[in-house]
Chain A
Amino acid sequence: MARQAKAGDAPFDRNVVMKRVFLSPAIIILLALSIFPLLWSLGMSVTDIQRGDNRGAAAAAEAGEDSGFLGLGFNITLQNYQRMFSDQRLHSTIRNTLVFVFSGVTIQYVIGFGLAMVLNQDFRGRSIVRVIFLMPMMMSPVAAAYAGRMMFDSSISPLAQFQRTLTDTLQGIGAILPGTFLDDAVVRIPWLTDAGWAPVTMVLIDSWQWIPFVTLLLLAGMQTIPDELYEAAKVDGANSLQILRSITFPILLPISATVILIRGLEIFKIIDIIMVTTGGGPGNATESLTMYIFDTALTFGNYGYAASISFALLATVILFATVFLAGMRRITPR
């Protein structure tokens, strides 16, 4: 019979000690590889450290001048966090990133849900269709971005050709029916060359790659719903929309929350597609927060400022995730 621990017992419990001993390597590794760098960069965020400070510090120390905190060539300061409020480029990257996140997650979830419902039906060749359908997800994001860049090119792409054909067709109809607006109709969308359309194109390329992921998870969830529930609903006279609203959607809510959270967090970090397709342009239209952090740290060498933006991003993401999960908990049926 297991011994029950009571208040006032001696603190030494061999089992507990052994558990801690065996757990300690994992905890130490976690601390070393994750927590320590996190704290280190948090420390950096309150310094004015930038590339080249060490050589400046050495010269300053030699000259008997201020060589910074502990002689390391930098100073403790909160100016990075102040600078964030006046940095217009940062503000535009935050706006762009939020647009990517909310529009991307919405499109991917809605289309992914619909496709999961289609793939959940019985039809011939369903297995092959599922495999083909998952292929974009297996591509590297850079390859997907190149495919997107070629697809959305304004002059030499299948899409551009389709737009030209559509324009010719409409104008042909306009010639037959003069006086209609079709006479001079032009179908031309500047997918990558217009500051208004380019962010939309980024979301479409990202969605093309990641809708299969959303579909896969939702399909897995759908297949766990017992058929008896659907049969009972049909016996009660429920139509398809009522079944979706009262059975499928509520049961899938926990999985939906997970999918939305994962995709939301991933899009928050979007960089690869943008780098390949527009480089952040036209103008500042598609520059993301991660791209700006990358430039700030590795191109400009402003490590302190890059760390402070990273922490602001981390705080934003944690806040977003917490609010979202709290909201989901409230509406998830128990």
Chain B
Amino acid sequence: MRKFTVFVFVAALLVLSLGVTAQGEFAGQTIVVVTQTGRSIGGPVEDFAPEWEAMTGADVQLQQFAFGELYEKMITAFETGSIDYDMMIFPADWAGDFMAPGYLEPMPQELLDALEPDDIIPLYADRITAWGDTVYALPYDGDSHMMYYRKDLVNPESPYAAEFEAEYGYPLDEPQTWDQYFDIATFFNGREVETAGEMLPIYGVAEAQRRNAQSYWVYLSHAAGYAKTPGNPCFFFDCADMTPEVNNPGFVRALEEYVALRALGPEEMINWDVADTRVQFPAGISVFNIDWGDVGPISYNPDASVIVGDTGFAPLPGGTEYWDSQADAWVTPESGVNRAPFIAFGGWIIGVAADSDVKEAALDFAAFMARPELVRQLATIPDTGINPSRYSQLNVEDVSLWVESGFDEEGAVDYLSAILEGISHPNYVLDIRIRGSAEYLSVLDTEVARALVGEITAQEALDNVAAQWNDITDRLGREEQLAQYRASVGYGE
């Protein structure tokens, strides 16, 4: 009995002392954050949460899952109402599944106002983080595809310039169109060039082509220039009735070219995801690479790259003509090139569960992680997975942060200009962000993989995709899907 009394007394003292020491706005609260495994995206939470915990008295628990499981974990928590997670860092593609049903808490205006809203690129402020007129998430990472190339080989003063011009009839320089990209890749493929002081054979391209990974986004980057009509925000589906556009001649031409690129890269390329090409391109094996912004910092990391300072950065090439699905005809643009940067994936964004019982704390931590000065710093560090999404991160007048992280000034300006040109282009293409996006893209992935190995033609592959997309749309409800797609691309706004 006495022992019990002493125990109760000590416990009471302990509780009182905790009450005294735990100070801060959210003392005693625990917020559970969920994102993908690894240092990329989740790493900064591990690094900076202690600082926020010390300021607020709250605890942050980070739960990480493999990318392949992440969607299922989050959606299950939402649908069952289990409130497993208070704050989620998730791909913008899932907006249709997370924002449309109201699973996320709308971001309070005062919180948005505190995050330098004018600094956020409109694509992210108005589209990627919002559903309709409501903002449900904070920008954390900006994502769009861009082109990387060996600028020591591809430039008008290159030792290969004369030979190239004699063969192709135009100067060797940064490609503006996919045709030029293809020509240059063909010209260099198999040629011995100087890389890191040695004469070594080089491939034309290193592009992700692995099935069940992220290669379909690379194919879509090729397709955007051929199948995106300027002024029409609808790309994957016809906004009149949700008819798939994926088997129109623009998409087919892009797939034929994507298949033909197999011959201009290593044989193993068919099993490469971006994780592989991010190792291979900086190792100097190819002239070209298509990827998100992550390759920029990696190419300047001497521990990972033998082409430090030799990498050129550029927005995606465009098509010399594009298929106008409304006119049902090929159109040649006046400028000679139809650029249509693909906002692949759309970036990782931060949301807070509407049902969270520590909503205020979660919103505060979300704002802490998305604050401008932090994301500016994170974007310059290799392997954080964070790419620029703010004007200030893309300010070519002040590249000191980038130079500090290892870039040279010219490279930093080149890199930032390429990203900015892509994400601020009026003809950009938004990824699929409606309910069932994972299934739509998986179907595309499967059929593209079949075309890559010659099992079926590009036209057959994309006809299959269109038929299956129609099935998915009908199963999920054509009217609802159409409404979501229109909202996701800003149709009629």
**A residues apposed to B, CB below 8 Å:** 48, 50-52, 54-56, 89, 149, 153-155, 190, 192-195, 275, 277-285, 287, 295, 298-302
Contact = CB atoms under 8 A, between A and B. Distances in A.
A192 B271 contact: yes
Given A275-B212, A300-B436, A283 B455 contact: yes
B439 A282 contact: no
Contacts of A194: 453
Given A52-B101, A298-B72, A299-B442, A281 B268 contact: no
Given A51-B97, A279-B213, 7 more contacts: A51-B79, A52-B75, A153-B268, A282-B453, A299-B71, A300-B439, A300-B442
Contacts of A190: 267
Interface in B376-418: none
Chain A contact surface mostly: loop
Contacts of B453: 194-195, 281-283, 285
Contact of B446 (A51, A153, A284): A284
A279 B453 CA distance: 14
A154 B449 contact: no
Contacts of A56: 477
Contact of B438 (A277, A281, A299): A299
A282 B268 contact: no
Query: Which of B211, B266, B475 is the most central at the interface, judged by chain A CB atoms within 10 Å of its CB?
Result: B211
A56 B213 CA distance: 30
Interface of B: 68-69, 71-72, 75, 79, 97, 101, 210-213, 266-268, 270-271, 273, 435-436, 438-439, 442, 446, 449-450, 452-453, 455, 475-477
Contacts of B435: 52
6 nearest interchain CB pairs? A281-B211, A279-B212, A300-B439, A283-B453, A282-B453, A283-B450
Contacts of B439: 299-302
Contact of A284 (B270, B436, B450): B450
A271 to B, nearest CB: 11
28 contacts: A48-B475, A52-B75, A52-B476, A89-B446, A154-B267, A155-B266, A190-B267, A192-B268, A275-B212, A278-B211, A279-B273, A280-B212, A281-B453, A282-B211, A282-B449, A282-B452, A283-B449, A283-B452, A295-B442, A298-B69, A299-B68, A299-B439, A300-B439, A301-B72, A301-B75, A301-B436, A301-B438, A302-B439
A54 to B, nearest CB: 6
B455 A193 contact: no
A155 B436 contact: no
Nearest to B262: A193
B438 A284 contact: no
A55 to B, nearest CB: 5
Contact of A279 (B75, B210, B267, B268): B210
A281 B436 contact: no
Query: Which of B69, B71, B450, B476 is the most central at the interface, judged by chain A CB atoms within 10 Å of its CB?
Result: B450
A193 B452 contact: no
Contact of A54 (B79, B97, B210, B271): B79
Contacts of A193: 267-268, 270-271
B99 to A, nearest CB: 13
Contacts of B442: 295, 299-300
A69 B79 CA distance: 18
Contacts of A277: 271
Nearest to B79: A54
Nearest to B211: A281
Contacts of B455: 195, 283-284
A173 to B, nearest CB: 25
Contacts of B79: 51-52, 54-55
A153 to B, nearest CB: 6
A48 B211 CA distance: 28
Contacts of A154: 266-268
A281 B271 contact: yes
Contact of B271 (A278, A284, A287): A278
A292 B270 CA distance: 20
Contacts of A282: 211, 270-271, 449, 452-453
B399 to A, nearest CB: 36
Query: Which of A50, A287, A300 is the most central at the interface, judged by chain B CB atoms within 10 Å of its CB?
Result: A300
Contacts of B475: 48, 50
A193 B276 CA distance: 15
Nearest to A298: B72
B211 A55 contact: no
Nearest to A299: B438
A26 to B, nearest CB: 30
Nearest to B213: A279
A197 to B, nearest CB: 11
Given A193-B270, A279-B211, A300-B436, A52 B97 contact: yes
A280 B211 contact: yes
Contacts of B449: 280-284
Contacts of A48: 475
B306 to A, nearest CB: 15
A299 B439 CA distance: 7
Nearest to A88: B464
A84 B71 CA distance: 26
A43 B71 CA distance: 25
Nearest to A55: B101
Nearest to A277: B271
A118 B158 CA distance: 63
A52 B267 CA distance: 41
Contacts of A50: 475-476
Given A281-B211, A300-B438, A155 B268 contact: yes
B436 to A, nearest CB: 7
A155 B270 CA distance: 13
Contacts of A51: 75, 79, 97
Query: Which of A190, A277, A283 is the most central at the interface, judged by chain B CB atoms within 10 Å of its CB?
Result: A283
Contacts of B71: 299
A57 to B, nearest CB: 11
Contacts of B68: 298-299
Query: Which of A52, A56, A153 is the most central at the interface, judged by chain B CB atoms within 10 Å of its CB?
Result: A52
